[in-house]
Amino acid sequence: MSTNVQPDVLVTVTPAAATEVRKFMEAEQVSPDVGGLRVSVQPGGCSGFKYGLLIEDQPADDDYVIAQEGFKMFVDPFSAQYINQVVIDYTSSMQGSGFTFKNPNATGGCGCGSSFSA
C-alpha cells in the first residue's frame, strides 16, 4: 500500500468530535488500527463545496493518513487542498447535534455550516 503519510495538511479535531468519531467507529465495528474517519470535500452544497465524513475500514492507496487521538483520518488529495487548517467540532444543542466545520480559508459559506466556497 502506497499510502501518503505526514501530509502538509493540518486538521484539528476537537475532543468532543474525537469522542463521537470513536463512538461511531465502535458502533460500526471498525478497528482503529486500520480503519478511520474519511474527511472529504465534494463539489455541491449551497456555496460550491460541501464536507463529508464517513467511517471506513481502510484508507485508499492515495490517501493522506493523519493520526488523531485514538483513530486515523483519511484525506484524498483533492480534499486535502481545501481542508488545511479546518477545525472539526461536535456540538449538541436544542436545535440538534452534529459535526461542524470551521474553515479559515473559506471565502464564503451559508447557514447550514457544512457548505463553503473557496
Spatial distance between the Cα atoms of 105 and 116, rounded to a whole number of angstroms = 10
Query: pTM score, two decimals?
Result: 0.80
Query: Which strand ranges, in their side-by-side order, compose the sheet holding 11-13?
Result: 11-13, 86-93, 96-102
Q: How many CB atoms lie within 10 A of CB 23?
A: 11
Ranges of each domain in the chain: 4-117
pLDDT in tens, 51-101: 899 999 999 999 999 999 899 999 999 999 888 889 999 998 887 889 988
Confidence band, pLDDT 50/70/90 cuts, at residue 115: very low
Question: How far does CA 36 lie from the centroid of its chain?
Answer: 10
Residue 19 confidence (pLDDT) above 70: yes
Residue 112: the pLDDT is: 47
Q: How many CB atoms lie within 10 A of CB 26?
A: 12
Confidence band, pLDDT 50/70/90 cuts, at residue 110: low
Class of domain 4-117: mainly beta
Instruction: Please state whether beta strands 115-117 and 36-44 pair in parallel, antiparallel, or not at all (unpaired).
Output: unpaired
